[in-house]
Amino acid sequence: MAELLEFRNVTKVYSRGLLSRTSTTALNNVSLRLNEGEPTILTVAGESGSGKTTLAMLLLGFITPTSGHILYKGQDISHLQGDDRMTFRREVQAVFQDPFAVFNPFYTVDHLLTVPIDRFKLAKSKSEARDKMIEALTAVGLHPQDILGRFPHQLSGGQRQRINVARALLLKPRLLVADEPVSMVDASLRASILETLRRLQRNYGVSIIYITHDLTTAYHIAKSIVVLYRGSVMEAGDVDSVIKNPQHPYTRLLIDSIPWPDINRHWGETEIKAKESELSDHGAGCKFLARCPFAMEKCQTLPPLFRLSEHQAASCYLYEQNPPIESERLSELLPV
Partner 1 sequence: MSNMLNWTVTDTSPDGAMNPVLQVVDLQVSYYTDAGRATALDGVSLTLDPGEKLGLVGESGSGKSTMALAMMRMIKPPGRIEGGRVIVDGVDLTALPDEEMLKARLSKIAYIPQGAMNSLNPVTRIGAQMVDAIRAHDSAASKSDMEERCLRALESVDLKRSVFTMYAHELSGGMKQRVCIAIGILLKPKVLVADEPTSALDVVTQRQVMETIDHVQRQIGAAVILIGHDMGLMAQFVDKVAVMYTGRLMEVSAVREMFTDPKHPYAQALISSLPSLDNKGVFQGIPGLAPALLRLPSGCTFHPRCPHVMEVCKTVRPEIDPLPGGRQVACHLYSQEVAKAA
Q: What angle do the packed helices 157-170 and 110-119 form, to 10 degrees?
A: 10
Among 70, 178, 189, 314, binds partner 1 (CB under 8 A): 189
Only segment of 28-36, 46-54, 84-92, 324-332 that touches partner 1 (CB under 8 A): 46-54
Residue 49 makes contact with partner 1 by CB under 8 A? yes
**Nearest-CA neighbor of 32 among 234, 326, 331, 336?**
331
188 is an interface residue for partner 1 by CB under 8 A: yes
The residue within the footprint of partner 1, chosen from 96, 219, 317, 319 (CB under 8 A), is 219
> Is residue 304 a contact partner of residue 330, using CB atoms and an 8 Å limit?
no
CB of 218 to partner 1, least distance (A): 10
Pick one of 63, 122, 191, 290: the residue that binds partner 1 (CB under 8 A): 191
Q: Which of 35, 216, 245, 322 contacts partner 1 by CB under 8 A? A: 216
- Residue of 8, 130, 220, 252 that binds partner 1 (CB under 8 A): 220
Pick 65 or 181: Cβ nearer partner 1 = 181
Q: Which of 114, 159, 241, 247 binds partner 1 (CB under 8 A)?
A: 159
- Residue 290: what are its φ and ψ, rounded to 5°? -65, -25
Torsional class of 232: left (φ above 0), alpha (ψ -120 to 50), beta (otherwise): beta
- Give the nearest distance from C-beta 250 to partner 1 in angstroms: 9
Binding-site member from 262, 280, 283, 297 for partner 1 (CB under 8 A): 262
How big is the CA angle at 226 (ends 199 and 170), to the nearest 5 degrees? 30
Answer for the pair 283, 25: CB distance below 8 angstroms, yes or no. no
List % helix, strand, coil for the chain (3-state, nearest 5).
Answer: 35, 25, 40
Q: Pick from 111, 126, 202, 244: which binds partner 1 (CB under 8 A)? A: 244
Q: What angle do CA 37, 39, 324 make, to 5 degrees?
A: 90
Report the C-alpha gap between 105 and 74 in whole angstroms. Answer: 38
Span interacting with partner 1, options 25-33, 75-83, 261-269, 316-324, rule CB under 8 A: 261-269
- 10 Å Cβ neighbour count for 259? 9
Say whether residue 183 binds partner 1 (CB under 8 A). yes
Nearer to partner 1 by Cβ, of 66 and 216: the residue is 216
Helix/strand/coil for 61: coil
Candidates 37, 268, 293, 323: give the one binding partner 1 (CB under 8 A).
268
The closest alpha carbon to 5, from 80, 97, 66, 83, belongs to 80
Amino acid identity of 182? V
Q: Is 240 an interacting residue with respect to partner 1 (CB under 8 A)?
A: yes
Site residues (vs partner 1, CB under 8 A)? 46-49, 141, 143, 146, 156-159, 183-192, 194-195, 198, 213-217, 219-221, 240, 243-244, 253-254, 257-263, 266-268, 272, 275-277
